[in-house]
Structure 1
Amino acid sequence: MKIGYARVSTVDQNLHLQKDALESAGCEKIIVDTISGSVLLRPGLEKVKEQLREGDSLVVWRLDRLGRSLKDLISWSGYLEEKGIGLVSLQESIDTSSSTGKLVFHMFGALAEFERNLIRERTMAGLQAARSRGKMGGRPKALTKDKQKLLIQLYKDQSISVKQICQMMNISKPTLYKYVKNVIVS
């Protein structure tokens, strides 16, 4: 049996392309995740693991849908090989049921990781260059200095609830606690 696995990182992204390709490849089941590939425990992937049996094939649209690092991909490949399950990646035309497919799989995985590392290095170099020119990256603060002081005062007074403070300031609880923590640390 061919079981397809599709993944997008955010709810805003669309699964149609992946699902259509997996259906065209003859997948009888398609299991989906809407979660970052960097998250190791993905519910859909766990469900795939439960359903795959010896002689089955796990089919993905691209290798990066299965894993974000070479280590992760090799781990999956080893697990599947140990269980007698094939891995098929449609975009890279890889089928690990053959020796050539296994070789190509490892080469593509290494190249994908190399590309991610290059992107990370370029991003870090760009941020460093911007900082050297006096530009600060990152998300702007949710509250002005005056609102931050008011938030801390309201929090310390305990006259109104944390929920009410958050509603008043239009911020989330984690953001409130981040501001409180920054005051305690400094």
Structure 2
Amino acid sequence: MYEEKVSAGGRTERMELTHLRRRIEPGDEIHIYSIDRLARSLSDLTSIVDEMVDKGATVHFLKENLTFSSDKQDFAGKLMMQVLGAIAEFERSLIRQRQREGIEKAKSAGKYKGKPRTIDREAIIKMLSAGVSPSQIAKLANIGVATVYRIRKEYAEISQRTTA
């Protein structure tokens, strides 16, 4: 049994799906709750299902009541899968578009400012000015050394702009 808690439309690695695809053997029965749980793009959906069927597995989509296997050619079922896959892809595009529009609207209203900064940059700059080493600052502030160097670089750039 493989169960995954990540989005089928996300760009993250889907480890359980990867493990499943590697272990498929002829005669395996793969039951998937819904087409949109497997993939959110039509090209991904068809390539994943084709790969599974080519390896000799039977793929069952429970919600849509569709079955695909190398034993039978179900042209109507394939058409239905492609139509539902195209709808899932379209739905995902609409969600992303609405999300972008919402963020832009919130930004223009001054409500969307991104993640608040949690590091006291002024304190880090004061410590740097006092001669404390970046590694010591990182330990004291419980941050990475690279963060200290990045803050130092940002401060140097700001200082150059104000003196120029």
TM exceeding 0.5: yes
Structure 2 residue 5 is the aligned partner of structure 1 residue 8: yes
Task: Give the residue type in structure 2 aligned to 1:106.
Answer: Q
Match of 1:118 among 85, 94, 101: 94
The 4+ residue runs of structure 1 with deviation greater than 3 A are 152-156, 172-179
- Structure 2 unaligned blocks of 5 or more: 159-164
Once the two structures are superposed, the pairs formed by residues 1-186 of structure 1 within 5 Å of their partners are 4-9=1-6, 36-37=7-8, 38-39=10-11, 41-97=13-69, 98-143=74-119, 147-154=120-127, 157-158=132-133, 160=136, 162-166=138-142, 173=144, 176=147, 180=151, 183=154
2: CA distance, partners of 1:122 / 1:83: 39
More strand by share: 1
Deviation at 1:102, TM superposition (A): 1.8
Secondary structure of 1:95's partner?
strand
2: CA distance, partners of 1:84 / 1:77: 11
1: CA distance, partners of 2:153 / 2:125: 10
- Structure 1 unaligned blocks of 5 or more: 10-35, 167-171
**Deviation per residue, 1:118-167 (Å, 9 max, x gap):** 01111111222222223324222224xxx21212444673161524322x
Bigger Rg, which one: 2
Q: CA RMSD in A?
A: 3.1
Give the number of aligned pairs: 149
**Deviation per residue, 1:42-71 (Å, 9 max, x gap):** 332222123211232221122233223222
**TM-score, normalised to structure 1's length?**
0.64
**TM-score, normalised to structure 2's length?**
0.71
How high is the sequence identity, in percent, across the aligned residues? Answer: 29
